[in-house]
Chain A
Amino acid sequence: MRAFLNAVPRVSRRGFLRVSTAAAGGLLASLWFDSPLSAQEGPPPVPPKAYPPDAFVHVKPDGQIVITVNRVELGQGIQTALPMVLADEMDADWSQVAAEIAPAGEVYKDPVLGIQIVGGSSSIPNSFQQYRELGAKMRAMLVAAAADRWNVGADQCRAENSVVYGPGGRSARYAELATYAAGRPVPEKVRLKDPSQFRIIGKRVRRLDSKAKCDGSQKFGLDVDLPAMKIALVARPPVFGGRVRAFDDAQARGIAGVIDVFEIPLVRGTGVAVVADRFWPAKQARDRLKIDWDLSGIERADSSELRGRYEQLARTTGLVATSRGDRAAMDRIPAERRVVAEFDFPYLAHTPMEPLNVTVRFDGDGAEAWTTSQMPTFEQGAIAEILGLKPDQVTFRVGFGGGAFGRRGSLDEHVTREAAVIAKRMRGSPIKLIWTREDDVRGGYYRPLFAHRVEIGIGKDGMPAAWKHVVVGQSFLIGSKFEPMAVKDDVDPLLVEGTANTRYSIPNFHVWEHHPKVNVPVLWWRSVGNSHNSFVMETLIDELAERARIDPISYRLKLLGSDANKQRAALTLLREKSGWRSNLPLGHAAGISCTEYYGTAVACAAEVSIKNGRPKIHRVTMAIDCGLAINPLTIENQCQGGIGFGLTQLMAKGAITLRDGRVEQRNFDGYTPPYIVDAPVAADVHIVPSAEAPTGAGEAPVPAIAPAVVNAVSRLTGKRYRSLPLRAL
């Protein structure tokens, strides 16, 4: 996704602050960005809109400071981290800070990408500066207001903990100054703090949303409750793209509480919607629908067939993703110094704990939506399109999400479109569309199935001297709205990220890709291309290190290029913190990996034994270099959590399989993610001290764990594992 994000036209930032006074008497500040585009390609620039309710900071008369975060909170902790940034520059009293999630809106777009988005670990890197400036401007205005009132110079004042102090022992609280400050002009330029002056940034700060999430009061999208709200479920075709030929709803309509049953178009094919006044009647009714599906002329994807087909494709070169050096170098390396490895990876579902849901109410001349979404701009637009409205006629509220991992950022807004279609028919009623867990497991938008074939020519020094690598799998960018920006010469960079952009200094390095079209919807899964590419790279590098009889950390340090500063730093810190590796009990082994995702490097050591035919992970030590660490507690959580999420790939039932077009799994009994027994017993996280620009931590840990664990298993069994999920050992 790096290539994709870099390709999106950059918006130039000539920002200015518009201030308006809320009816409640507080101080509202909004930051607008002018957006003349500097890039020559991409969509035409959209002029910013006047959006009166916009707010980033609201100082209430009682002293509470409400900060609006332009990112949905899905668990990654952004709802605490960005307010920390703003509050620090603002010299606000942290104990008074509360946070809100911004609805869809012009001013909440990512300042670099020009759309509202959570993805690609871009929230921190792209909004860090933005929120610093917001905080600094607020502070400047409050100080100027106090200085004005006291008739002194602003440079004679200082601010600390929501109080401005002036000469002669004067002081005024932010809450008192707020209304007065509202009439002040917004400074164009502000001076930001020197990092040595940070009081909040860099501290282990507990997240702001914990208490509500522990006492049942936190509302998620699924918890939305509105007067006269109806519940909608949709019966979808058993094969993607199927269409309703006929249906019998007599029994379904017989369920008390059912309001209507009707056919609806889907993004692929058609389905039957059931609308009821409660969830249970809707489910009972849907279970009693008799639907005759037209599956004619539809490709029926089959995992076995795909694996076989991909294996063959991987043995041919395809589209060139990366090419450096001499393609014939491999031929000069004798057979005994060559490794040929073929890998295969299954479809993976995200299965966030909160099932997908969207609530939409259509009133004819406007609409309102409640959901949690990684792409509010697009989803707002999709609702508008279906309801015949302009986007700003759709109030799109973004709530806390029960996880996403990429699933709530679909490129075709398919869930939202279903909800809008139903809301249109049931005009006036809020419609809550719910995808049951079965709908979710069977509903597609998976991390694609992949095959790799790698041929390595090893030099006499044990380091790779030639590398030929083919990756085969579906592309979700091609055919999407992002294709023009991210895909060049038909090469999708996300298929090969983790391989093509490796910082290992491998000469004669050639990477090709094939992206066949398959009738299975696919999407980005936390860490995207790295989820499989890092597994291939890090297990192969481990194999080379073992062959060369070089310590796995030393081998990597030797092989990394001169620009791999963060990976070096992470590996060095890992080595320092994983002394336990030389003191393992019998039957235990350590496995190492080192990955990088969007400018964040992670090095990982896992201690593993084999119990009941499965890897038992006793501990993981992880070192991470993400530049300046805004909240080390959040980073620790994301590392521990990313480890647990990444283990999905190794679970015995961690695969979605299709047979004759149908998904074989239905729920967590068939697609089984990691439970507590599968996660490490302990995981210690160490952050490389850094003053560099901060990069994200939400995804970088994920691709590191599977290869680290499998490398450890390989030490125990003497075998190499090239097919996931891991079957019985």
Chain B
Amino acid sequence: MTTWQLTVNGQRKEVAVDPGTPLLWVLREELKLTGTKYGCGIGACGACTVHLDGVATRSCLVPVGLIGDRPVVTIEGIGQDPCGRAVQDAWVDRDVVQCGYCQSGQIMSAVALLKAVPKPTDEIIEESMGGNLCRCATYVRIRETIKSASEHLT
């Protein structure tokens, strides 16, 4: 058991867990931030996506011991970012979600995409969102909504 100092959604947090504990479970169980989801545990579905120092990261795979001082942003905090807010609003406006379980990860991935490529083509959207699984298959709406959000962002 080791103590770790993390910056999560702009706040300093201290947790005491084994260094091998994935960030996902630190967020969910120690910090009670349950918006980031467990879907597979092997990085194949993207439901656990957070931003680690601005990089879309699959938190089920990253042991807390490798975080260092890189700041973490989760779905609970992404609304503070104008791009994050725009994506969330677009998602609600266009009725993207069904069960919603994968959508935290979808949104975090979409925000990372739009921050890197504000006007993505269909191909870039398909490749960048290509690793996020949705069993309800909201994919058609995800494509349309990313295009729509990118049009509203300057």
Contacts and interface: CB of A to CB of B under 8 A. Distances in A.
Nearest to A644: B137
A74 B99 contact: yes
B37 interface: yes
B126 interface: yes
Contacts of B71: none
Interface stretch (A87-95, A327-335, A675-683): A675-683
26 contacts: A73-B99, A75-B98, A206-B93, A207-B95, A209-B100, A210-B95, A211-B92, A216-B36, A280-B18, A280-B20, A353-B133, A353-B134, A354-B99, A402-B99, A402-B102, A640-B141, A641-B137, A643-B137, A644-B140, A645-B137, A647-B137, A667-B41, A668-B42, A674-B139, A676-B126, A681-B122
B137 A668 contact: no
B57 interface: no
Given A355-B39, A402-B102, A675-B131, 8 more contacts: A213-B103, A223-B28, A279-B38, A354-B39, A645-B136, A668-B42, A674-B139, A676-B143
A154 to B, nearest CB: 38
Given A207-B95, A682-B140, A353 B21 contact: no
B37 A668 contact: no
Centre residue among B32, B42, B129 by max chain A CB count within 10 A: B42
B142 interface: yes
A714 interface: no
Contacts of B34: 216, 219, 222-223, 225
B74 interface: yes
Contacts of B129: 676
Given A210-B91, A216-B35, A352 B137 contact: no
B104 A352 contact: no
A353 B135 contact: yes
A679 B139 CA distance: 7
Given A215-B79, A353-B101, A676 B132 contact: yes
Q: Which residue, of A73, A209, A223, A682, has the highest number of chain B Cβ atoms within 10 A?
A: A223
A403 B42 CA distance: 20
Interface in B21-60: 21-22, 25, 28-29, 32-42, 44-45, 47
A681 B143 contact: yes
A682 B29 CA distance: 39
Interface in B89-116: 91-93, 95-104, 107
Interface residues of A, number: 63
Interface string A665-691: 001110001111101111100000000
Nearest to B60: A437
Interface string B113-154: 000000000100010011111111111111100000000000
A351 B103 contact: no
Interface residues of B, number: 59
Contacts of A76: 98
Interface of B: 1, 17-18, 20-22, 25, 28-29, 32-42, 44-45, 47, 74-76, 79, 88, 91-93, 95-104, 107, 122, 126, 129-143
Contacts of B75: 215-216
Contacts of B122: 681
A675 B133 contact: yes
A681 B125 CA distance: 11
B106 to A, nearest CB: 9
Contacts of B133: 353, 668, 673, 675
Chain A contact surface mostly: loop
A256 interface: yes
A127 to B, nearest CB: 19
A281 B134 CA distance: 28
Given A74-B99, A641-B137, A641-B138, A206 B143 contact: no
B74 A641 contact: no
A401 B132 CA distance: 19
Contacts of A207: 95, 97
Minimum-distance CB pairs A-B, first 10? A644-B137, A216-B35, A402-B101, A213-B100, A75-B99, A75-B98, A216-B75, A223-B34, A668-B44, A679-B139
Contacts of B100: 75, 209-210, 212-214, 218, 400, 402
A281 B20 CA distance: 10
A257 B17 CA distance: 10
A669 to B, nearest CB: 6
A215 B99 contact: no
A38 to B, nearest CB: 37
Contacts of B79: 215
A427 to B, nearest CB: 23
A381 interface: no
B140 A683 contact: yes
A279 B138 contact: no
B136 to A, nearest CB: 5
Contacts of A114: none
Given A214-B107, A223-B34, A676 B139 contact: yes
B24 to A, nearest CB: 9
